[in-house]
Amino acid sequence: MKLLEDRIVKDGTVLSGDILKVDTFLNHQVDPQLMNLIGKEFKKLFDKNNITRILTVESSGIAPAVLTGLQMNVPVVFARKHKSVTMSDNAFVSDVYSYTKKVTNHISIDKRFINSDDNVLIIDDFLANGQAVHGLVDIIHQAKANVSGIGIVIEKSFQPGRKQLEKDGFNVKSLARIASLDNNKVTFVE
């Protein structure tokens, strides 16, 4: 997605440890117009998959997931990283190691919000080592639902997440694919 790549080049900052900071439009401040175009793009990519529900993880996956849900007219569920007082104990839980925060979170989704007949589209902001997506896949499998596709806003293709997911047979589509962040410069996959 050319517009997204241009925005990454214009506004992104490369931090140490191969981290790309995009808090002006995705990870802190959110650009609703760009999220809307991202939602339209994901609809185009996954329109034929009979998606019934979108799953993401709080907090940075929520904006692109909701705008995709709006386009596809399906509900959006975000996994919680912390147990809320209002949440029942009736939840699917999985462990996710956070690459940026270096901690393990238990992500959970209330069992009312995913069914065995769901065709689920996973949406997330970044794909790096694939831990976050694997946690969601684990929850979808616990619910005996189907993973119909995985939509990623920014993929760091030099990290192993995508390769492993493809090896496991998943349909992964990323809107921007980064080949390298060497020398503080963003280079995209050709």
**Is residue 64 near ligand 5GP by the rule CB under 6 A?**
no
Please state at what angle helix 32-46 crosses helix 62-72, rounded to 10 degrees: 60
Q: Which residues fall in the annotated binding site for 5-phospho-alpha-D-ribose 1-diphosphate?
A: 128-132
Stretch that binds ligand 5GP, among 46-54, 87-95, 124-132, 143-151 (CB under 6 A): 124-132
7: its two tokens: 């925005």
Residues between 20 and 39 with contacts to ligand 5GP, criterion CB under 6 A:
20-22, 27
> Cβ 121 to ligand 5GP, closest distance in Å?
16
Which residue lies nearer to ligand 5GP by CB, 5 or 111?
5
Which residue lies nearer to ligand 5GP by CB, 111 or 173?
173
**Is residue 131 near ligand 5GP by the rule CB under 6 A?**
yes
Q: Which residues pair with 96 in a beta bridge?
A: 105
Size of the site for ligand 5GP (CB under 6 A): 20
Which residue lies nearer to ligand 5GP by CB, 118 or 124?
124
78: its two tokens: 């975000």
Q: Which of 141, 51, 129 is nearest to 94 (CA)?
A: 141
Q: Which of 161, 176, 123 is nearest to 9 (CA)?
A: 176
Residue 161 CA, chain-centre distance (Å), reads 12
**Is residue 62 near ligand 5GP by the rule CB under 6 A?**
no
Buried-exposed string 36-63: b where 16+ CB fall within 10 A, e elsewhere = bbbbebbbebbeeeebbbbbbbeebbbb
**Is residue 125 near ligand 5GP by the rule CB under 6 A?**
yes
Residues that bind ligand 5GP (CB under 6 A): 19-22, 27, 60, 98-100, 124-132, 156, 161
